[in-house]
A and B are shown apart, each in its own frame.
Chain A
Amino acid sequence: MSRVTVLGCQLVSIVVLLLAWEGAVRVGLADPLFIPKPSAVAAALGTSAGDVLPRLADTVLKTLLGYGGAVLLGVTAGLLLGSRPRLHEVAMPYVVALYGVPKVLVLPWIALILGIGLPTAVLSAGLFALFPIVLMVAAGTRDVDPTLIMVARSMGATRSAIARKVLLPAVLPSVLAGLRIGLIFALLGVLLAEMFAGNRGMGFHLQRLAMAFKAPELFAATAIVSILSVTVVLSLEHVNRRLGRWR
Chain B
Amino acid sequence: MRVLVWRAAVLLGALVIWEVAARPLNPILYVAPSRLPAALMRMLSVKDLPPLPEHLWLTSKEVAAAYLLAVAAGLWFGFLLGLRRTLGRIYEPLLAALYAIPSVVWYPSLMLFFGLGPASKIAFGLLLGFFPIVLSVLAGIRQVPPLLVTVAVSMGARPGAVFRKVMLPAMASTMVGGLRSGLALSVVGVLVGEILGARSGIGYVINYAYGLLMTGEYVVLVVLIAAAVLALDGAGALLEARVRRWAG
Q: Chain B residues with Cβ under 8 A from A94's Cβ?
A: 7, 10-11
- Complex-state Cα separation, A107 to B97, whole angstroms: 28
Asked if A48 is at the interface of the complex by the 8 Å CB criterion, the answer is no
- Complex-state Cα separation, A27 to B233, whole angstroms: 46
A102 to B187, Cβ gap below 8 A? yes
- Complex-state Cα separation, A202 to B104, whole angstroms: 11
Asked if B242 is at the interface of the complex by the 8 Å CB criterion, the answer is no
Asked if A71 is at the interface of the complex by the 8 Å CB criterion, the answer is no
Given contact pairs A109-B210, A188-B104, A91 touches B191 in the complex (Cβ within 8 A): no
- Complex-state Cα separation, A105 to B108, whole angstroms: 19
Contact with B along A138-161 (1 / 0, CB 8 A): 000000000000000000000000
Q: How large is the interface on A (under 10, 10 to 19, 20 to 34, 35 or more residues)?
A: 35 or more
Stretch from A18-26, A72-80, A229-237, A239-247 forming part of the interface with B: A229-237
Given contact pairs A234-B97, A234-B100, A90 touches B7 in the complex (Cβ within 8 A): yes
CB contact list, B67-92 vs A, under 8 A: 86, 89-91
B196 to A210, Cβ gap below 8 A? no
Contact of B210 among A104, A108, A210, A222 (CB under 8 A): A108
CB contact list, B216-243 vs A, under 8 A: 218-219, 222, 225-226, 229-230, 233
B218 to A13, Cβ gap below 8 A? no
Q: Looking across the interface, which residue of chain B has its beta carbon closest to that of A93?
A: B7
A13 to B109, Cβ gap below 8 A? no
Most chain B CB inside 10 Å of its own CB: which residue of A100, A105, A203, A218 = A105
Query: Total contacts A to B, CB within 8 angstroms?
Result: 125
Given contact pairs A13-B91, A102-B226, A188-B104, A210 touches B184 in the complex (Cβ within 8 A): no
A206 to B105, Cβ gap below 8 A? yes
B195 to A222, Cβ gap below 8 A? no
- Complex-state Cα separation, A14 to B95, whole angstroms: 12
Size of the B side of the interface (Cβ < 8 Å), in residues, is 46
- Complex-state Cα separation, A184 to B207, whole angstroms: 26
- Complex-state Cα separation, A105 to B3, whole angstroms: 30
B29 to A210, Cβ gap below 8 A? no
Most chain A CB inside 10 Å of its own CB: which residue of B112, B196, B229 = B112
Given contact pairs A13-B90, A102-B226, A218 touches B109 in the complex (Cβ within 8 A): yes
Q: Looking across the interface, which residue of chain A has its beta carbon closest to that of B102?
A: A188
Given contact pairs A90-B3, A97-B230, A233-B100, A107 touches B195 in the complex (Cβ within 8 A): yes
Contact of B113 among A35, A89, A101 (CB under 8 A): A35
B218 to A108, Cβ gap below 8 A? yes
- Complex-state Cα separation, A93 to B213, whole angstroms: 32
Q: Chain A residues with Cβ under 8 A from B108's Cβ?
A: 195, 206-207, 209-210, 218, 222
A1 to B106, Cβ gap below 8 A? no
B191 to A222, Cβ gap below 8 A? no
Q: Chain B residues with Cβ under 8 A from A6's Cβ?
A: 89-90, 93
Q: Looking across the interface, which residue of chain B has its beta carbon closest to that of A191?
A: B104
- Complex-state Cα separation, A1 to B86, whole angstroms: 8
- What are 22 contact pairs spanning A and B, CB under 8 A? A1-B89, A6-B89, A6-B90, A9-B90, A10-B91, A94-B10, A100-B229, A101-B226, A101-B229, A102-B226, A105-B195, A108-B206, A108-B207, A109-B210, A109-B215, A192-B196, A202-B105, A215-B112, A218-B109, A222-B106, A229-B101, A230-B100
> Which residues of B does A touch, CB under 8 Å?
3, 6-7, 10-11, 29, 86, 89-91, 93-94, 97, 100-109, 111-113, 184, 187-188, 191-192, 195-196, 206-207, 210, 213, 215, 218-219, 222, 225-226, 229-230, 233
> Which residues of A does B touch, CB under 8 Å?
1, 6, 9-10, 13-14, 34-35, 89-91, 93-94, 97, 100-102, 104-109, 112-113, 184-185, 187-188, 191-192, 195-196, 202-203, 206-207, 209-210, 213, 215, 218-219, 222, 225-226, 229-230, 233-234
- Having A184-B100, A188-B102, A222-B106, one finds 20 other A-B pairs with CB under 8 Å, namely A10-B93, A10-B94, A14-B94, A34-B112, A90-B10, A91-B10, A93-B7, A100-B184, A100-B229, A101-B229, A102-B226, A102-B229, A105-B191, A106-B222, A188-B104, A191-B102, A195-B108, A209-B108, A218-B112, A229-B102
